[in-house]
Amino acid sequence: MTQATRIDGKAFAARLRETVGEHALAFAQKTGRKPGLAVVLVGEDPASQVYVGSKHKACIAANMESFEHRLPADTSEADLLALVEQLNADPAVDGVLVQLPLPPQIDEQKVIATIDPDKDVDGFHVISAGRLSVGQEGFVPCTPLGCIMLLKDLHGDLSGMDAVVIGRSNIVGKPMAQLLVDANATVTIAHSRTKNLAEVVRRADIVVAAVGRAEMVRGDWIKPGASVIDVGINRLPPEPGKEKGRLVGDVAYDEAAAVAGAITPVPGGVGPMTIAVLLRNTLVAAHRNASLDPPEGL
């Protein structure tokens, strides 16, 4: 029996994309150019190709310019770094995103470090992480920013709530914890060495699961009424006769939904937020690069 409110990330993301699109139009009218996002894909990883295609379409739909650079899998690190430098210097480009993972001959950290932090719309640069950490204006990774938007939409004020973030990666767990602290929640970061994880999670008013283990968080780990944000995207092995397995999150949805107050589904929860926030970050970058105040409330 499902009791929890299903947090509709898909609908929230669609509204955000529409709002960003309206602001992008106003930006173009003011400045004579559209906000521009450059996306670089190296190689032919099928999942990356789908992501890059989706980002391109989303940009166009949001009245933005999309600059796609598809490079062969054997591209050298030097050539990729040269392209990033060129995009950094291009005034039509407000955001630069290099799709990960990169082929083995290329050092990902070096590439991320070469992106101009003021165009780092993915928020992966160490300067972006530092700015988030000390509360300076910068860019926050899209997925955790999308999660905090959903939580603020749900609760308004998160002050004093107990939050547990499971996962401590640089792109999800750590920035998520920082955003929750900034929103005045009391935050615990759990990871693979955490003892009694179920008990730790049971104390939380807010649970954010970003682990990458199918349905690890069980219903009896959830405090009644808690809000559950499931970042995980895991594909189960295919059932007999099917080509592909089902996509599930890090939370056992049906069990958790019977206890939680609100929960994001997988798919249709956090996933759609990521591209919507990328567009939001690009719009903000465009305003800053044009020395304009970014629109409020985004």
Active site residues: 55, 99, 122
User: Shortest approach of ligand NDP to residue 241 CB, angstroms?
Assistant: 26
63 versus 274: smaller Cβ distance to ligand NDP: 274
Contact string 105-144 vs ligand NDP (x = CB under 6 A): --------------------------------------x-
Q: Which residues inside 209-228 make contact with ligand NDP, applying CB under 6 A?
A: 210-213
Considering only 93-101, 104-112, 153-161, 184-192, which stretch makes contact with ligand NDP by CB under 6 A? 184-192
Using CA atoms, how far apart are residues 35 and 93, in angstroms rounded to an integer? Answer: 7
For position 261 contacting ligand NDP by CB under 6 A, the verdict is no
**Which member of 15, 30, 57, 191 binds ligand NDP (CB under 6 A)?**
191
For position 166 contacting ligand NDP by CB under 6 A, the verdict is yes
Considering only 25-33, 46-54, 83-91, 169-177, which stretch makes contact with ligand NDP by CB under 6 A? 169-177
Considering only 13-21, 111-119, 231-239, 278-286, which stretch makes contact with ligand NDP by CB under 6 A? 231-239
Residues at the interface with ligand NDP (CB under 6 A): 143, 166-169, 171-173, 190-194, 197, 210-213, 231-234, 270-271, 274
